[in-house]
Amino acid sequence: MLVAEQNVSISTAGVLRGRDILCFSHDWTGDPLSKTHLMRVLSRENRILWINAIANRMPTASGKDMARIVKKLKSFTEPIREVEPNIFVLNPLAVPTYGSVAVRAFNQKFLVSQVRRALRKLKIKDPINMVFNPAAGLLAGKLGERELIYYCVDEYTAFTGVASGLREIEEDLFRRSDVVVVSAERLLESKKDFNPNTFIIRHGTDWNHFRTALDAETKVPDEIASLPRPIIGFHGLLADWVDYELIRKTAEHFDSGSVVLIGKVAVDAEKKIKILDGIRNIHLLGRKPYAELPAYCKGFDVALNPFEINELTLAANPLKVREYLAAGLPVVSTDIPEVRVLEDCAVGVDHADFIARVAEAIAHPKPRAEVSERIRHESWEAKVEELRKILAVSCEQ
């Protein structure tokens, strides 16, 4: 149960306001994730030092990974920059492995020196260290932070190619944090034994942004506007946890319609996604700017969350599902526990049931404005307020 539910009279007046916050996360230039949205809300009343990704997995010999390494080396030489008001970005550099004691010690010393230099430059003292990236556990407690919060939104050690030694670093981070926040019930059950101050805050949604899909002036992009209907859509990372066999079956079942996939293909999915090659009604459109996603959603007849069922996805809380709902869309997902709490998301228990749910959603759609309105309360501002209540109680104990 959330602290917010246990005691609604808790005062949060001085919590997470007027502070300096360290945020160890993914690269700022990546797609906006839960961390991005939370920090944008917090930056209204706090100063944020956003530390770009410290690798959680070993790089491969693929062209994408090599290009990323080159980009990391180049960005390391760039100065700290203010990307939005009160959000400053640091590009750190580290060796992407943690199994060797010597390499771990080198990474720790090297990273600490980089972050401390940034703290001095920005005149930051006594910050809150809010860690979203478990690899940053190497630095936790060594940066003069007053509070340490681990905000865990995935079962990181279940990712393909996870870096050696990450499990030990993360487990130590769980134990040493003042507060642990998780985004899914399954994570709460598996992590609470590490730290009694573990709480769940489910993801929010950028409701105002995706709600524009319902606006009359929002124009459906030309590249999907003329596609045969129904248009069955997806946006997000095309990773190796996506069920491409299910997407193929869905496209073949609705062969007179169109399946639109928007997003970057992850390195680990490049082989798996080849199962979609040659299917004429599947349209891979690549990554699109976040600003344009509501317009694409407006053109969808139904939106999909077609995840495989495994250790990683069972602990996931797919952000895209709430974004689809904010856009008013009918949504169909595979059987991920966290989508079952959402009133307007249909769940398919197997491939045949999933396709049947898609057909039902197309044939009998709910009013889009009503679907959108029912998710309105799940804002990122509301999630920050949940966090403030948790910290207010933790500080009193």
For the chain, which domains are there?
Answer: 3-204+379-396 (3.40.50.2000), 207-374 (3.40.50.2000)
Task: Kindly indicate the confidence band of residue 94, based on its pLDDT and cuts at 50, 70 and 90.
Answer: confident
pLDDT, residue 264, reads: 96
pLDDT, residue 95, reads: 75
pLDDT, residue 108, reads: 87
pLDDT, residue 73, reads: 45
pLDDT at 64 over 80: no
Mean pLDDT taken over the chain: 91
Q: For residue 161, count other CB atoms closer than 10 A to its CB.
A: 14
CA atoms within 13 A on the CB side of 221: 16
pLDDT at 110 over 70: yes
State how far the Cα of 80 lies from the Cα of 49, in Å rounded to an integer: 9
Return the higher-pLDDT residue of 267 and 77: 267
Range with the poorest average pLDDT among 19-28, 92-101, 282-291: 92-101
Quick: pLDDT tens for 154-204: 999 999 888 878 899 999 999 999 999 999 999 999 999 999 999 999 999
119 contacts 92 by C-beta, under 8 angstroms: no
pLDDT at 145 over 70: yes
Quick: pLDDT tens for 252-292: 999 999 999 999 999 999 999 999 999 999 999 999 999 99
Averaged pLDDT for residues 86-92 = 96
- Cα dihedral 123, 129, 133, 134 in deg (nearest 10): 130
Question: What angle in degrees, to the nearest 10, is found between the helix axes of 34-42 and 380-396?
Answer: 70
Q: Report which of 156, 159, 161, 119 is spatially closest to residue 135, judged by C-alpha positions.
A: 156
CA atoms within 13 A on the CB side of 155: 19
CA atoms within 13 A on the CB side of 183: 26
Averaged pLDDT for residues 118-133 = 96
State how far the Cα of 336 lies from the Cα of 154, in Å rounded to an integer: 13
Quick: pLDDT tens for 317-343: 999 999 999 999 999 999 999 999 999
Return the higher-pLDDT residue of 364 and 71: 364
pLDDT at 249 over 50: yes
Task: Kindly indicate the confidence band of residue 11, based on its pLDDT and cuts at 50, 70 and 90.
Answer: confident
Task: Kindly indicate the confidence band of residue 238, based on its pLDDT and cuts at 50, 70 and 90.
Answer: very high
